[in-house]
Amino acid sequence: MGSEKYGKLRTYKSHRHFKIILVAIPTIITLSTTKCYQLLFHTNFPTINIITKSSPLKWSESNIAAYMKQHPQRAYFSRLMVDGGFQAGMEVGAADGRFTQHFLQDMKRTTDAKERTSSSHLQQWYKKWFPSRSRQWAWTMVEPYPNDELNQKYDVRDDGASGQWNRDGLLENVDLSFIKRKSLSYVFDIPDESHDFIYLDGDHSFAGVKAELPRFWDKVREGGVLAGSDYCNIDSKKVENSLPCKGCENVPKCQPSTELGVSSSGKDIVKAVQEWLMEKNDDRLTLYHIDEDFTNDSLSGEITNTRNPSWFIVKPLN
Ligand SMILES: C[S@@+](CC[C@H](N)C(=O)[O-])C[C@H]1O[C@@H](n2cnc3c(N)ncnc32)[C@H](O)[C@@H]1O
């Protein structure tokens, strides 16, 4: 009786061990191949990038704020992707694609430089045969009215295959998506906490931006950045009506040297962002803005013709 019971116990134990081994071996193999891949290719699996909530390599809020203070131009947001551990970004209101192009160029320059110094044959072989798995970043452009200039760079009809960006190799390292929809019709299709950087530059009306803010905020991962354009007061003589939120004081002036003249929507964006921040009532949130320090000469660069300040908020880690 006793030995029968003991025998059952042994069978039960060996079953349990078998089950543990069944789970443990594939887990160890998956983890170790992932690690080997990362060590070999100095990168993460792109598919994991999209799913992972937050990269451990991501810059902290204080790093981001200090960096953007030292480099007060929105062009430097691309460095968050390249150096700051950000993986998935989005521009809402892509217009003719100049700002997106700047990000793509920065990513390509960085990857090319890295490959020149550390690329192995195996790495090159992997990139050639598994191009989609080798992509390090994901980028989405949202633009309901793609114009001819954008179509020349990224022809939306053939997913960019015949456009200039593809010919220049700008799409090699980036999983690029083009969404021909308005922000508020698309936002519900984006998974929550799926993006590290979202730049709002589409709708510039008070009601539009106010409606976008909470919805796009949900799409930003912890440690990521929600940002937007045209955060400024149009009338330099008027005293600004800042709300008592963190970072809301000292609203910058709209700058006169833009291709469109002074933005008239700036004050609506200031009001929408500050009101939303007050409603969030979360004392961990700070509103930052970038005093664009372009000169008149650099305004005519490829990136942008606008020097209106951008705003940004970093999503705290929970
Ligand atoms: C000021 S431009 C964007 C400039 C561009 N981000 C840049 O930095 O070069 C605004 C763009 O937003 C687009 N737009 C307008 N309403 C939109 C909306 N609700 N959702 C997304 N894009 C929108 C317009 O078609 C236009 O191309």
pLDDT, tens only, 270-300: 999 999 999 999 999 999 999 877 665 655 4
> Cα of 91 to ligand 1 centre, how many Å?
9
Which residues are near ligand 1 (CB < 6 Å)? 91-95, 98-99, 142-145, 182-183, 201-203, 304
Lowest mean pLDDT among 32-46, 185-199, 248-262, 268-282: 32-46
Q: What is the pLDDT of residues 142-194, one digit of tens each?
A: 999 999 999 999 998 898 999 999 999 999 999 999 999 999 999 999 999 99
How far apart (Å, rounded) are the C-alpha atoms in residues 24 and 149?
A: 53
Question: Residue 255 has what pLDDT?
Answer: 72
Structure-block tokens of residue 27:
């887990």
Mutate to test the pocket of ligand 1, among 92, 141, 184, 230 (most ligand atoms within 8 A of CB): 92
> Given the CA of residue 147, which atom of ligand 1 is nearest to it?
27
> Given the CA of residue 98, which atom of ligand 1 is nearest to it?
9
Mutate to test the pocket of ligand 1, among 183, 197, 199 (most ligand atoms within 8 A of CB): 183
> Does the pLDDT value for residue 126 go beyond 70?
no
Question: Residue 20 has what pLDDT?
Answer: 74
How far apart (Å, rounded) are the C-alpha atoms in residues 127 and 131?
A: 5
> Cα of 268 to ligand 1 centre, how many Å?
16
How far apart (Å, rounded) are the C-alpha atoms in residues 129 and 105?
A: 23
Q: What is the pLDDT of residues 54-90, one digit of tens each?
A: 566 799 999 999 999 998 888 899 999 999 999 999 9
User: φ and ψ at 149, to 5 degrees?
Assistant: -60, -40
Q: Which residue in the block uniquely carries the two structure tokens 């979360």?
A: 282
> Cα of 241 to ligand 1 centre, how many Å?
26
The listed CATH number (3.90.550.10, 1.10.1660.10, 3.40.47.10, 3.40.50.150) that belongs to domain 58-314: 3.40.50.150
> Cα of 318 to ligand 1 centre, how many Å?
32
H/E/C letters for each residue in 207-276? HHHHHHHHHHHCCEEEEEEEEECCCCECCCCCCCCCCCCCCCCCCCECCCCCCCCCCCCHHHHHHHHHHH
Its pTM surpasses 0.85: no
Confidence of residue 4 (pLDDT cuts 50, 70, 90): low
**How would you label 41-51 residue by residue, b for 16+ Cβ within 10 Å and e otherwise?**
bebbbbeebee
> What percent of the chain stands above pLDDT 70?
70
> Does the pLDDT value for residue 141 go beyond 80?
yes
> Given the CA of residue 74, which atom of ligand 1 is nearest to it?
8
Q: At what angle do helices 121-129 and 2-41 cross, to 10 degrees?
A: 100
Who has greater pLDDT, 234 or 264? Answer: 234
pLDDT, averaged across the chain:
82
Average pLDDT on 118-130 reads 65
> Given the CA of residue 230, which atom of ligand 1 is nearest to it?
1
Question: Residue 298 has what pLDDT?
Answer: 58
Q: Is 197 helix (H, G, I), strand (E, B) or coil?
A: strand
Question: Residue 21 has what pLDDT?
Answer: 76
Question: Residue 41 has what pLDDT?
Answer: 46
Question: Residue 25 has what pLDDT?
Answer: 77
Please report, for the chain, the start and end positions of each structural domain, with discontinuous segments joined by +. Answer: 1-41, 58-314
> Does the pLDDT value for residue 52 go beyond 50?
no
Mutate to test the pocket of ligand 1, among 203, 216, 230, 304 (most ligand atoms within 8 A of CB): 203
Question: Residue 6 has what pLDDT?
Answer: 56
> Given the CA of residue 306, which atom of ligand 1 is nearest to it?
8
Question: Residue 253 has what pLDDT?
Answer: 81
Average pLDDT on 287-314 reads 74
> Given the CA of residue 305, which atom of ligand 1 is nearest to it?
9
Nearest CA to ligand 1 atom 11: 93
How far apart (Å, rounded) are the C-alpha atoms in residues 34 and 157?
A: 35
Who has greater pLDDT, 12 or 316? Answer: 316
> Cα of 11 to ligand 1 centre, how many Å?
67
Structure-block tokens of residue 99:
């700002």
Question: Residue 1 has what pLDDT?
Answer: 45
